[in-house]
A and B are shown apart, each in its own frame.
Chain A
Amino acid sequence: MITVERKPWREMVNHAQATYPNECCGAMIGTIVSGPDGDVKTVIHALALDNASAGPQAARYELRPEDLLRADRQARELKMDLIGIYHSHPDCDAYFSETDLKNSCPWYSFIVLSIQKGQYHHANSWLPNAEQTHAEKEELQWPES
């Protein structure tokens, strides 16, 4: 399960709305606590990152590894963990697409925010496998949910 605290949730939604009609992307930093029903991840900081995709960004995002390296260092300085990546789907649902899957990494939670006509609509969190063939839906909670 992944829970997003109020402040990072607001920042992620605002980032996604401000970037509309393009896709936005960023990193999520927080804590992971092992519980009886598996890990409980809590997002405490959202880090807006550049969409580095060279072409049109309405249907495409790309993170620079350098930016992820910086996010990981920032997490270490905060004595927290880099736990996930977020990105937006302008005028589409918050599914995990074939392109998302083929360019994913099984180490992180992937939160997808659906932005419809410029406004936040809904969100899902996904856990892709190492073979990049399947992503499982992860229970996602945020303050307004």
Chain B
Amino acid sequence: MARILIPTPLRQFVEKLDTVEADGATVGEVLAALTTRFPNLKKQLYNDEGKLRSFVNVYLNDDDIRYLQKDATSVAATDTLSIVPSIAGGLI
């Protein structure tokens, strides 16, 4: 069971929990278990094509999974996954 930290605005989709535990040997499996249990969360994280939304980053402990093995990154029971947005902007 890995821990997934849920950002405040998404807690309404996971029965108001701030942390959820889910099974899986890889990041992809843990996220699949999470979004199967909470289908409304899936719409927040994934677009209609089933891809993670452009502003959604997933961190395994302190590392962005894009710089690890992405969905195939191994997850241990002591690991923590975080959902972190990409945010930027400009005047025009």
Contacts and interface: CB of A to CB of B under 8 A. Distances in A.
A104 B89 contact: yes
Contacts, number: 92
A61 interface: yes
Nearest to A80: B8
Interface stretch (B29-37, B55-63, B70-78): B55-63
Nearest to B82: A69
Interface in A84-115: 85, 87, 89-90, 92, 97-100, 103-108
Q: Interface residues of A toward B: which range?
A: 35 or more
Given A65-B64, A69-B59, A83 B89 contact: no
Given A107-B9, A107-B85, A130-B44, A65 B92 contact: no
Interface bin, chain B: 20 to 34
Given A65-B57, A65-B64, A66-B62, A53 B88 contact: yes
Contacts of B54: 132
